[in-house]
Amino acid sequence: MSDDYRQMWKELGLDLDAHDALLGVLGQAYQDIYLAQKQRPEGMGYFDFVMSEVHGLRIKELVDEKAAGRKIVGSYCVFVPEEIVLAANATLVGLCSGADFATEDVERMLPRNTCALIKSSFGFKLGKVCPYLESADMIVGENTCDGKKKAYESLAGLVDNLYVMDLPQVKSENGKALLKAEFLRFKAAVEKLTGVTITAERLKDGIQTVNAKRAALHRLSALRKTDPAPVSGLDGLLVNQVFFYDNPARFTASVNKICDELEKRIAAEEGVFAKKTPRILVSGCPQAVPNWKLPMIVETAGAVIVGEESCVGERGTRNLTDDSGQTVEEMLDAIVDRYFQVDCAIFTPNPDRLDHIQQMVAETKADGVIHYGLQFCQPYLMESIPVEKALEDRQIPCLRLETDYSMEDVGQLKTRVEAFVEQLR
Amino acid sequence: MSDDYRQMWKELGLDLDAHDALLGVLGQAYQDIYLAQKQRPEGMGYFDFVMSEVHGLRIKELVDEKAAGRKIVGSYCVFVPEEIVLAANATLVGLCSGADFATEDVERMLPRNTCALIKSSFGFKLGKVCPYLESADMIVGENTCDGKKKAYESLAGLVDNLYVMDLPQVKSENGKALLKAEFLRFKAAVEKLTGVTITAERLKDGIQTVNAKRAALHRLSALRKTDPAPVSGLDGLLVNQVFFYDNPARFTASVNKICDELEKRIAAEEGVFAKKTPRILVSGCPQAVPNWKLPMIVETAGAVIVGEESCVGERGTRNLTDDSGQTVEEMLDAIVDRYFQVDCAIFTPNPDRLDHIQQMVAETKADGVIHYGLQFCQPYLMESIPVEKALEDRQIPCLRLETDYSMEDVGQLKTRVEAFVEQLR
């Protein structure tokens, strides 16, 4: 990255030495894991560029937007409605939570038995290495799991612009009413932040922009259903990860460009792996940049990942928002309808998720499912046992993994994944 | 216990051999921990009797009540309003969750990283050793923490009478409205179960009965403030534990009888430990029967526990319900008001709890606080760090412990507690 960025990072308050170290590790990991892949679609070149500039050019764009009076909203969760943020002429970005950082400092603020994702979000703040967080004019927390819900109480002492959104735990009428009330409150907060009143026209634009991003990913998902797989699971995950960071219109165009290329590959029966390579659906916890551990293990073990039933994946992007409403109120109801369908494990009961996993297995022609659980993530670990049982009752092989962001268990995971892949042949 | 009970246990579906083993261990623990204490108030004899008959006479009473047409409601949480249960002519009992049982079977249904309390509740069911659970006509779960919320989804497959109550996560207007809606739904469910319509008169009776239990405990708490302590923390905890099991009127009378005796002790300056014994407030997770590990360690380390800031303790019993309403609606509002004040760590934020801890430290003249956290209990472990910090900022020594129901760490805990007690002298 250009030296010009150092001044920008300094002004954002980053710890330049620590940040250099982080970028060094990130760059090496990207080289070893992503650039080492064979037969990658050319269109992934855009995403390679995005990743090489993830703390550079993209941050410069955000800083430029800020200089032009636009506000930046940071989020840790797919429940934060990007439609509303865009309609208020603001930009939504996902905040860093995919790598361990400043762990010793983090464990002075959070119990050791906290999931890696939450610890990471604190680590990036305490270590001063997340330019997205430091650029954000408003940071949105949300009452999903106990871990995040309670951690935001401590995060509130570290940042001065935290906004916490309450969420229901049950998909009842009361639950939906709560979601609507919270989205209305959020709309008011974003309007206050930006000074922009959300009109029907602006909201329709926002919905259409986000829908276009989602539709591009739906198109990509549909192409991943082919055998041989035209794109790796690593690259599929990366595209889903960049969904949270990139300029929406550019992201949509770039995904569609890859899809054009994949269609040609499919017509030519070309793939990244040989035909009949065991196909795996990954289901469970989100995998944020640069958490590429599981797909790296799976795809070097002779299998291909054909879908992600995850917040960074289809759980986060499954449904479009109905854009046919004429008033702000009608469209807000449509937004509530759309987000209320997200089958996060924080809901009880959560039968839709099991249906979706089976549906994805059928659609992606997956031979088996790997349930990816972050250690200490109670909601997904709790669901993983009945999910495994239900899948096995339907003769769908399932491997439950529980891990964190460290590399210490890679050998052990590799052994288990290889044995599982062998079973699928 | 009498042999007559064996037939009753068999009819309830208990595993007699496993149950014998459990009672053997429980009896021995009670002997070693409780009966070995010196200078106990005579009034504790009643509680010794209750504990010796906890699976005997008390279960016989419940079975007799059932034969007479009364319904039994089982609960795992202080958010289940006993006022409503009593008003429908039913009996509320706490369900077993204070000891490890059938752990191997439990860990096939729940992640290993689940707190001991939740695992225990499954163990008692899977091992068929909880006569309260087997007597219950309705089992009430509640959406408190992620662990319990998601575990009830699996418990629903083990019992055929599970009712789940939703709970708010935020003390907002919406949160209070949800609590009220859920209490109304619960009232309807209990009325359906019993066939009894809750009238204003019945509800006032229910409120007064539960208030009397609470008031007796408030009286006991006030007497524990004296130096020398007139009763041990072990015995104080036991009384709070029996609160969940015993016939309400008999419990109230028995606690008041002890209080009469303690008043005489106090007048005579008699105590269970010498004057100036270091005084400790225990704060944190509930300690259910027979989880007496922490007070046993503390009180054999030369300190006395003078209060429990816990669901099994003052958090569960702090406020009375206003009984001045004339209509069912008015009294239901009073019940909602009362329960909405419970400062459980599932709420975010939860500043009242910190205030209450400090208030209890002042009132009980505690020299320090031990924060009791069950391993993997995210809400209380998350709160323990800011609680410790806030207390230490106010020069109140605090020791954070994290443990489970096993005895493996007793030596290590003893060492830490002894060092802490030394610091308080």
The pLDDT value recorded for residue B277 is 98
pLDDT in tens, A267-323: 999 999 999 999 999 999 999 999 999 999 999 999 999 999 999 999 999 999 999
* A382 chain-B contacts, CB cut-off 8 A: 110-111, 114, 146-147, 150-151, 153-154
Confidence of residue A328 (pLDDT cuts 50, 70, 90): very high
Residues of chain B with pLDDT under 50: none
Of A265, A345, A309, the C-alpha closest to B150 is A345
Question: Angle CA(B28)–CA(B301)–CA(B290) in degrees, nearest 5?
Answer: 30
For the beta sheet containing A138-142, the strands, ordered from the edge strand earlier in sequence to the opposite edge, are: A90-94, A71-75, A138-142, A162-165
User: A145 lies in a domain?
Assistant: no
8 Å CB contact of A178 and B174: yes
Tell me how far apart the terminal alpha carbons of chain B are, to the nearest angstrom.
43
The pLDDT tens digits of the residues spanning A341-392 come to 999 999 999 999 999 999 999 999 999 999 999 999 999 999 999 999 999 9
- Within an 8 Å CB–CB cutoff, is residue B354 touching chain A? no
Report pLDDT for B3.
64
Distance from the Cα of B405 to chain A's closest Cα (Å) equals: 17
Residue A279 in domain: yes
Q: CB B181 to CB A170 under 8 A? A: no
The whole-number pLDDT of residue B4 equals 84
B183, B207, B260, B306, B312 from B254: Cα distances, Å:
30, 19, 10, 20, 18
Whether pLDDT at A248 is above 90 = yes
Residues of B in contact with A146 (CB under 8 A): 145-147, 346, 378-379, 382
What residue numbers bound the domain in which A287 lies?
218-320+344-424
* Geometric angle at alpha carbon B249, from B246 and B255, rounded to 5°: 75
- The size of the A-B interface in CB pairs under 8 A is 120
Whole-number pLDDT of residue A292 = 98
Query: Which of the four pLDDT bands, split at 50, 70 and 90, describes residue A4?
Result: confident
pLDDT above 90: residue A399: yes
Task: State which residue of chain B sits closest to A167, comparing Cα positions.
Answer: B169
Q: What is the mean pLDDT of chain A?
A: 97
Please give the tally of structural domains in chain A: 1
Q: How far apart are CA A277 and CA A226, in angstroms?
A: 11
Does the residue A60 lie in any domain? Answer: no
Given CA atoms B27, B30, B36, B41 in this order, what sign does their dihedral have?
negative
Distance from CA of B290 to the nearest CA of A (A): 26
Q: Which of B146, B173, B371 to mutate to test the interface with A (most CBs of A within 10 A)?
A: B146
Q: Encode pLDDT of B75-124 as tens digits.
A: 999 999 999 999 999 999 999 999 999 999 999 999 999 999 999 999 99
Contact with chain B for residue A238, Cβ under 8 A: no
The predicted pLDDT at position B2 comes to 57
Instruction: Inform me whether the pLDDT recorded for A1 exceeds 60.
Output: no
- A143 with B169: Cβ contact below 8 A: yes
- Whether A2 shows a pLDDT value over 90: the answer reads no
- In a domain? residue A255: yes
On the question of pLDDT at A3 being above 80, the answer is no
Interval A150-175 mean pLDDT: 97
Assess A354–B contact: CB distance below 8 Å, yes or no: no
- What CATH number is attached to the domain comprising A308? 3.40.50.11900
**Closest to B109 in 3D by CA, of A388, A38, A367:** A388
Could you tell me which of A296, A95, A335, A383 has the C-alpha nearest to residue A204? A335
Residue type, A326: Q
Q: Are the Cβ atoms of A164 and B348 closer than 8 angstroms?
A: yes
- Establish if A49 belongs to a structural domain: no
User: SS3 for B384?
Assistant: helix
3-state SS class at B196: coil
Beta bridge partners of B370: B282, B399
Mark yes or no for CB contact A381/B153 under 8 Å.
Answer: no
Q: Which of A108, A153, A384 sits opposite B349 (nearest CB)?
A: A153
